Structure 1
Amino acid sequence: MDFALVSGNPALDLAGTLQWRRSDPVDLLVDPAALRSWLVQAGVVQDAVRVGPADLSRAVELREALYRLACDRLADREYDEAALGIVNRAAAGPPIEIALTPTGVRRRGDVDAALGEVARSLVVLLGAADAPPIKECGRAACTRLYLDRSRGARRSWCGMEECGNRVKAAAYRARRRAARTS
């Protein structure tokens, strides 16, 4: 399975593995193999880690806590205490092992280290005074969160490939229909 990694932060990308939250939710983390695949595709680890059903449950719980805290930041409200506890416990876990090799950096660790790395990425983001703004995709049904690093913070969609292109195509079709009726 290929995952859309367009959020600019591993924690926000993990939160995006539950799509269309408000309308017809689609969970991309359907089994331990999907989580293992996401960890590798997101670059959290390079080698597939052993993931069991309990690990998947912890990852889903972490995903929802990450999403809640990011939404709290987005809405400028106090952080949810339960979500803080989940994220902080994961962030306190073992570190990812990194090593410089002749071909670049190698990142290894077990699932606890990988989830800790993801949690730490949100802790660092939310704790930074100069962090880019977190936004929600402008496409009506999409609930993906992303960091807006665009000039003037004017980005509207989580990504052009899916949401941006669809919104622009719909606007184009609407303009064409309007031009034909006038």
Structure 2
Amino acid sequence: MHAFPGGALALDFAGTLRYRHRSQPREDMPTPESLGAWFRESGITEREITVKAADLREALTLREAVYRLILATMSGQDYDRDALTLVNNYARKPTPVLQLTSRGRHVEASVEQAFAAVAQDAVSVLGGPDVRLLKECSDPECSQVYIDRSRGARREWCAMDPCGNKFKAAAYRARKRLGGKSRASTVSL
């Protein structure tokens, strides 16, 4: 199962390389099958897409281009021209086909249409009103970028599990240690 804490398809796609700040990040799409599962779990399609090794290489290239654009946007820097060209080229392509059936909504996609959906979402997020809400997780090891739609824009973590819970538990343990020491010092007086 993949995580989707970003609040946007493109942010979650870029987040499939987890813990980018570590010396050894974790790859959440190591196989063509895992990429196909990500497409299904993200809602791009409802059926498994047959993904080949070349498609996975292409996906990882697209992912890194999207991530470079996200970082440039957040830091106010100019876009990397190659990343911008790549994302825009994918964004021009047809996206998944939505159909209404007697059972409800049905979505089918090819690999190329799935890439187009990610690229179009990147264009929408980075060129739209939510761009000012982009944040990177406060966990120093986590590199997930998310849209902070919380009240007062005070959200600190990409998700409570695991990032927020880890820090809240550490803060709780620290308060308990300090509370225990202060009680011990008052008892000895």
Give the conservation status (yes or no) of the 8 Å contact 2:32–2:56: yes
1:74 is aligned to 74
Instruction: Compute the displacement of 1:92 (Å).
Output: 1.6
Q: In the alignment, does 2:77 pair up with 1:64?
A: no
**Distance change >3 Å, CA 55–CA 130, structure 1 → 2:** closer
Q: For residue 85 of structure 1, what is the aligned residue in structure 2?
A: 85
CA deviation string 1:27-58 (max 9, x = no partner):
01111000000000011111111100000001
8 Å CA contact 1:137, 1:143 repeated in 2: yes
Report the structure, 1 or 2, having the larger helix content: 2
**CA offsets, 1:89-119, max 9 Å, x none?**
1112222111112333211110000111011
8 Å Cα contact 2:36/2:48 also seen in 1: yes
3-state SS of 1:62 partner = helix
Q: Which amino acid aligns with 2:124?
A: V
Q: Superposition pairs for residues 112-131 of structure 1, below 5 Å?
A: 112-129=112-129, 131=131
Give the aligned partner of residue 141 of structure 1. Answer: 141
Pairwise CA RMSD: 1.3
Other-structure match for 1:173: 173
Give per-residue Cα distances to partners, 1:66-85, cap 9 Å, x unaligned.
11111111111111111101
Contact 2:18 2:143 in 1 (8 A): yes
Residue 43 of structure 1: aligned partner? 43
SS of residue paired to 1:107: strand
On the 8 A contact 1:132/1:149 being kept in 2, the answer is no
Deviation readout 1:134-177 (Å, 9 max, x if unpaired):
11001111000101111121111000121111110111111112
Pairs aligned (count): 181
Change in Cα spacing, 1:67 to 1:130, as seen in structure 2 (3 Å) is closer
Q: Corresponding residue for 1:8?
A: 7
Cα 1:35/1:156, change in 2 over 3 Å: same
On the 8 A contact 2:130/2:147 being kept in 1, the answer is: no
Listed as ranges, the gaps of 5+ residues in structure 2 are 183-189
1:54 is aligned to 2:54: yes
TM-score w.r.t. structure 1 length? 0.95
What is the one-letter code of the residue matched to 1:120? Answer: Q
Change (3 A) 1:71 1:131: closer
